[in-house]
Amino acid sequence: MPTRALAFLGRHATAFMAGGVLVGLAVPPLAAAAGPLLVPTLLIPLTLALIRLDWRAVVAWRARPGVIALLVVWLLVAAPVLVWLLAEALRPAGLPASLQVALVLMAASSPIVSSVAIALIVGLDAALAIVAVLVATALVPFTLPAMAQALLGVTLEIGLGAFMLRLVLLVGSAFVAAWLVQHFVAPAAIARRRDLLDGLTVLNLVVFALAIMDGVTAFAIARPGYAAAALAAAFGFNLLLQATGYALFRRLGRRAALAVALASGNCNMGLVLVALQGKADFEVTVFFALAQIPMYTLPALMARAYARLLGRAPGTARQPTVK
């Protein structure tokens, strides 16, 4: 793709992210064709985000271990408990049991790795986002089975050794690739190509969104009631977790609190599918796919709110964050 086209994608990142996930639903053959690209397009946005991070800001969070501990407890323990309580309250109103399971498992997972890239795109504290992603991802193999068993009575058979090795290989490869780029490319050159890197990030996020929608459109046509309920729950609980995360960490400042909000509402359901080892009810899988829609559309829908909270005019340039 020409450089100018990628830069154009980068300047209109949130709009293209929102459009891409909807295209996956509207054009099922395109979603099926993108299926094999699921894993690469999951990792490339993380690599591109790591290239631009100010690592001094990341390391600075070591001086605040209490904040990191509270953040992890919120993401991996308190959030799923909150969602379970609310889902239990909604059961008499007709919330399907499979949807309750999906919601709790979603909330019990770690933040999506691409939340770092999204934080950079919308101008949030990407350093805190990467800390949240890395620490929570490292601990989720221990907490996810416990929360699933305690809240849902669901047993997740996770081989910790194999699971951790897979995570290390997936996330580690992104770190190695980012280190190589930063070693050979000057920081000023990276900063000048911010829109280009954003464009590459958006392109990969869109392909990932296409890939995860494979098979969802047919299910939604056959079961429109469940699909509508799942989509409404995905939006509602994403916003609920974001609002709660922001409120809990408001004292960190708005950029940091908004980064926590982003990490709180956008959970890595791919890891849950790995943990379930193909044994998930398809209704749960469908929710995980539909839950990508708020993940991809909310950054665009909330663009003005971000700008207002961060004290800048809508559409103004983000400050580059590089090493």
Can you give the pLDDT at residue 296? Answer: 84
pLDDT tens digits, 37-47:
766 776 787 78
Whether 7 is covered by a domain: the verdict is no
Give the pair of three-digit tokens for residue 294. Answer: 């708020």
CA–CA dist 253, 13 (Å, integer): 25
> What are the φ and ψ backbone dihedral angles of 40, each rounded to 5 degrees?
-60, -40
Residues in the chain: 323
**Among 156-165, 189-198, 302-311, which stretch is predicted with the lowest mean pLDDT?**
156-165
Whether 323 is covered by a domain: the verdict is no
CA–CA dist 290, 84 (Å, integer): 19
Confidence of residue 321 (pLDDT cuts 50, 70, 90): very low
Handedness of CA 249, 250, 255, 258 (dihedral sign): positive
pLDDT tens digits, 211-220:
777 778 888 8
CATH number of the CATH domain containing 129: 1.20.1530.20
Whether 319 is covered by a domain: the verdict is no
pLDDT of 319 above 60: no
Confidence of residue 168 (pLDDT cuts 50, 70, 90): confident
pTM: 0.81
Whether 317 is covered by a domain: the verdict is no
Question: Domain of 73?
Answer: 13-305
Whether 262 is covered by a domain: the verdict is yes
Can you give the pLDDT at residue 220? Answer: 87
pLDDT: which is higher, 78 or 31? 78
pLDDT of 320 above 50: no
Whether 318 is covered by a domain: the verdict is no
CA–CA dist 70, 56 (Å, integer): 22
pLDDT tens digits, 276-314:
666 668 888 889 889 988 988 898 888 888 888 888 655
CA–CA dist 17, 9 (Å, integer): 9
The total of structural domains in the chain comes to 1
Which residues does residue 267 pair with via DSSP β-bridges, in sequence order? Answer: 111
Can you give the pLDDT at residue 279? Answer: 65
Whether 321 is covered by a domain: the verdict is no
pLDDT: which is higher, 83 or 141? 83
Whether 314 is covered by a domain: the verdict is no
pLDDT tens digits, 42-81:
678 778 877 877 777 788 888 899 999 999 999 999 999 9
